[in-house]
Chains A and B, each alone.
Chain A
Amino acid sequence: MSIQEMRRIGGEGSRETFELIIGPVHMETENFSIIVTVEGDTVVEAKVNAGFLHRAFEKLAENRTYIQNVPLLLRVCVPDPDHAETAYSMAVEQLLDIEIPDRAKYIRTIVLEMARISAHLFWTFGMSAAVGLYTVGQWSVADRERFIELFEELTGARIYHIYNFPGGVRYDIPMGWTDKLMKVVNHMEKRLKEYDKVFFENDILITRSRGLAKISTEEAISLGVTGPNLRATGVPYDFRKLDPYAAYPYIDFEIPTGKYGDAYDRIMVRRREIEISLNIIKQAIKELPSGPIMAPIPHPLYYNVPPGDAYARVESSKGEFGFYVVSDGSDRPWRVHIRGPSFIHGVQLLEKLLKNVRIADIPVVLKSLDNCPPDIDR
């Protein structure tokens, strides 16, 4: 993290190069800045400058008990906290060697898919603003509110739910909640067709994002890219299928892929993921088993976790979200390492993709990667 001033670097006449600083206070970059060297209005080189949101989660987690860490570590990625808390819970479950009950698995699946939809709807707002089609952004944020209201009824909180705990979920589904959820799901399905007409099939979006910032599958895998950004290059790699967790092995769903790996493919993969998540929620509600929602866990005062280490990952709305937890046998973790997807997408991949892009297209590239700066800084 450092704040600098814009300066002229060299060149003469039309080949003059400048250093341009975008962020950290900017709607598109969200609290991190990019220092781009521009020649005319084409980017020659981009350097990511992060650290404005560093909150030292990994150090703080070492000084808190395993249970106290749940409300702390879910704050890593602000728009998508459920996946963080589930990944941490899964790592602790691996260390404690407990299997969560079936009902908890299905409830987790529903909650995670709701979180994915609400994160994608929030991203739709940013994406629409990046290309200047603000209308659909207002719609999608209003539709996200419907999911947040359901979250509030289920968990008691709007954004940070603290709902998935090591061992299961905290509360059972209230009476009549699934009917309300089905109503919202049906509403959302109709709504997506309107989104298509206004935004996803809009000529402005297609001309601005088709062929922009392409990446091949080989390059993407060698850079560690995951999630929709990898699937847009044409491979169906999804950790919900590859490294299954919660109730995903029992649910039938397809994985959307792109073809060219450009910005428009990344946008459309996310668009189709919303539809598939709605289908997953429908199936999970239909097959929801009865039974307990929490596995037997140690007493909170004697919550000693056996020594060892575990790595658990989930497929968050942005990519692979993993936690590496090391235990020394006490009630506090010895080390917690957070692997956020944006640590790759927002730094190395972004620096690579921004080359030879025009200044006006920087927000489109940035938003098509669905970058989450808080999980770069941690």
Chain B
Amino acid sequence: MIEEELVRKIVEVFSYVEAKVKRVRRVEVKVSREKLPEVAKYLRSIGFKHLSAISCVDRPQHGIFELVYHLWSYENRVHLMLKTTIPRNKPKYVTMINVWPNAFVYERDIWEFFGIEFEGHPDLRHFILDYWDDIPPLRKDFNHLEYIKRKYGVYDPEKEYYLR
């Protein structure tokens, strides 16, 4: 099976990664944040050229943000999730634009919705939420219902208008 071969190959090269086969054509690789750039460069060189997306998952109960790089190899037909964690109180990471150029848009998206700064990113500016004035909205501690009340007021059925 190509997935198991791939896992064996990755673990041979990098002894410190945690790799496993999740299901058919799905492989998961966990790596610490310091070591991720070199693993990423290696994966790019063995055929993971297509970066599908970068997902960010907020886990306040563990005090971390989880970054998931979704990679696809057209030759091996395998989807690889490269996972790492960064501390919630120090949301900073390095950019991956030099490895996958389309990380540009996903990193800008994560900066906007989670507030993670990517060092070396040339253009971290608001893209979708211009004039945003609160904490990044996809963090778990952002309550959208309270934000609406604060921003637009509560509807008063007797007076028929919104009260601030």
Contact = CB atoms under 8 A, between A and B. Distances in A.
Interface of A: 1-2, 50-51, 54, 56, 58-59, 94, 221-224, 226, 235, 237, 242-243, 309-311, 313, 320, 322, 324, 326, 334-335, 337, 339, 343-344, 347-348, 376-377
Contacts of B129: 1, 51, 54
Given A2-B130, A51-B127, A311 B79 contact: yes
Given A2-B131, A223-B101, A344-B105, 17 more contacts: A1-B130, A50-B128, A51-B129, A51-B130, A59-B144, A221-B74, A222-B102, A226-B50, A237-B74, A243-B25, A243-B72, A243-B79, A309-B68, A311-B81, A324-B53, A335-B55, A348-B104
A243 B77 contact: yes
Interface string B123-161: 000011111000001100010100000000000000000
Contacts of B113: 58
Interface of B: 23, 25-26, 49-53, 55-58, 68, 70, 72, 74, 77, 79, 81, 100-102, 104-105, 109, 113, 127-131, 137-138, 142, 144
Contacts of B23: 94
7 contacts: A54-B128, A243-B72, A311-B70, A311-B81, A313-B52, A324-B53, A339-B70
Contacts of B131: 2
A376 B55 CA distance: 15
Contacts of B130: 1-2, 51
A362 to B, nearest CB: 20
Interface of A is mostly: mixed
B102 A223 contact: yes
Contacts of A310: 26
B70 A324 contact: yes
A226 B53 CA distance: 12
Contacts of A59: 137-138, 142, 144
Contacts of A2: 130-131
A334 B144 CA distance: 16
A222 B101 contact: yes
B144 A344 contact: no
A234 to B, nearest CB: 13
Nearest to B61: A328
Interface centre among A221, A223, A226, A337, by most B CB within 10 Å? A337
Nearest to A311: B70
A322 B53 contact: yes
A343 B105 contact: yes
Contact of B70 (A94, A223, A322): A322
